[in-house]
Structure 1
Amino acid sequence: MTAEAESWSGVFLRRPAGEPRGVPGDAERNVKASLDRLLDTGAPAFGPVTVEDLMWWTGWTLTDTRTTLAATGARAVELDEGTGPHTKALFDRNGNIGPTIWWNGRVIGTWAQHADGHINHHLLTDPGSQARPAVETEIHRTLAFLDGTRVTPCHRTPSERSLAT
């Protein structure tokens, strides 16, 4: 996706047709169920997510966000764990992390798609004998999924720029 192809649409939350209104406890159950779904589906696809991200997405206060997260059993991860001197290269100027390779809850590398479509990657550390073939498998799976489509992040990181050339 290029910046020219980027589009945004609003998200509207609605009560399903026929769902009763004003039943005590519904709001709390719906919030819990919605957050569970967000953490189960959204965070793996777009995460990790920060407390600040969740506050921005939901409009909650810091206290409400922390209380709700504690109730779900979500656990914190350190984004810079294992990245050491590479941290600045992995984030764009707005603080968004770029394409990264994760293994057992840690960032172990970065990747980018080259102009000809292939994927370059760079491991920041030796992740071990199980991770290396898993990374290669995921690269091949991603290439098959893209099926020739070229993807360029709108907000590029120094590492992504370097690997894409």
Structure 2
Amino acid sequence: MRHVTDAERRARIAWRHALAPAARLDSPEAVTRAMTVLHSTEPATVHLSCWARGRDLRVADVERALHVDRTLVKQLAMRRTLFVFPRELLPHVWPSASARVAATERATIAKDVVKADLAQEGQEWLDRARREVLAVLADAPEGLTAQQVRLAVPMIDVKVSVSPGSSWSASRILTHLGLTGHVVRGVNTGHWRTSRPRWTLTPDWLGEVPAPTSAQEGYRELVRRWLGTFGPGTEDDVVWWLGATKTIVRAALRELDAVEVSLDGGSLGYLLPDDVEETPDPGAWVSLLPVLDPTVMGWKAREFYLGPHREQLFDRNGNAGTTVWVDGRVVGCWVQDEAGVVHLRLLEQVGARARKALRAEAARLTSWLGGVRVGTVYPSAAMREPVVPP
């Protein structure tokens, strides 16, 4: 059986994730395909993930792909997380990962509606709300904001209390319509750091809409792309990332003829059958990655790149803050000061070569941001600590 060491897995990150200088890519589309998807829970993550992997990519390049060419599309999917997908992957995610979350959302919304005494039949209420929203959006080909939809559809102009301090309103219906592929998050009416989309009918945004595949085909394609980006990984890694079941993942691995490989620590991992060759040494590299970057969030078992730093770099809900990388290992985080200057917070000692490279990368990011400060609702414990120069 082929054995893949932790060192080789880190080398694969350098090449597959376009983080080594020689591996960087020329477009947001190429970056997104390399990573399968980009996390978009925080809008700035998309731009910063592209910056880290691109050759001279600008904010305007990402905005062009998202809002002009529309080759990249935001879609809620795995683990009820918002991602940016390559447009061609949408027909595979709609009937699989998105449909799975949509079913859960439908049951939750229906239950909440009955609990709030909005209707005796929550499912019927949701179906009527969906129809009314779609009818309103049909008359607005350029899309409407959530507030505009709420005002146009009085039945969803409500506030549904779920528990003390927790409630939802019109956006929950739009979220469900997005999960089922009927609407998409279109033009962003705010700054690139914020999310204020015009909700738009999918045909109005994408033009010709590709027909969805089957759930089985969709899951298989998602697992295939995950293996290409993150392999080797364990069955548990794929189940966690996909937000699916072992039955679904095992079927996909079997249909793909995935090859079993042994990993350091005794785990069993998988690779695609045409991807078992040894990975060359990428040389020295450093990287600064944003909150919830797809690399740090790609596996359930993260010790081979995260080491002992999980508690300092993830919040209690498993959300990753910013990360600083040296040769495939996470060694700290980065923050900005009031002027927007990027500073490093290292959790372990690194060599002189790495310190110099990290300072240069921090200066490069500071220049790229041009004084724009990127906030987050997911600061890690390390991000809250005083800044310590490398």
Q: What TM-score range do you get, normalising by the shorter chain?
A: 0.5 to 0.7
Which of 109, 112, 124 does residue 347 from structure 2 map onto?
124
Residues 135-146 of structure 1 correspond to what in structure 2 (within 5 A)? 135-146=358-369
Residues 12-161 of structure 1 correspond to what in structure 2 (within 5 A)? 13-14=90-91, 31=221, 35=225, 39=229, 50-52=237-239, 54-56=241-243, 61-64=248-251, 70-71=271-272, 72=275, 78-79=302-303, 83-84=307-308, 86-161=309-384
Number of corresponding residues:
140
Note the C-alpha offset of 1:61: 3.0
Identity of aligned residues (%): 25
Note the C-alpha offset of 1:65: 6.5
Per-residue deviation, residues 112-141 of structure 1 (Å, max 9, x unmatched): 112331222122222212211110111011
Q: Indicate the SS of the match to 1:54.
A: helix
Q: CA RMSD in A?
A: 4.3
Question: Conserved in 2, the CA contact under 8 Å of 1:89 and 1:158?
Answer: yes
Counterpart-to-counterpart distance in 2, 1:159 and 1:13: 36
Question: Conserved in 2, the CA contact under 8 Å of 1:112 and 1:119?
Answer: yes
Per-residue deviation, residues 56-90 of structure 1 (Å, max 9, x unmatched): 39xx83425666652155x9773475653x43121
Question: Conserved in 2, the CA contact under 8 Å of 1:101 and 1:107?
Answer: yes
Note the C-alpha offset of 1:14: 3.9
Structure 2: state its 5+ residue gaps: 1-41, 46-72, 76-84, 93-207, 231-236, 259-269, 280-298
Question: Conserved in 2, the CA contact under 8 Å of 1:79 and 1:107?
Answer: no
Which structure's CA Rg is the greater one?
2
Q: Normalized against structure 2, the TM-score is what?
A: 0.29
Q: Which has the higher contact order (CA 8 A, sep 6+)?
A: 1
Greater percentage in strand:
2
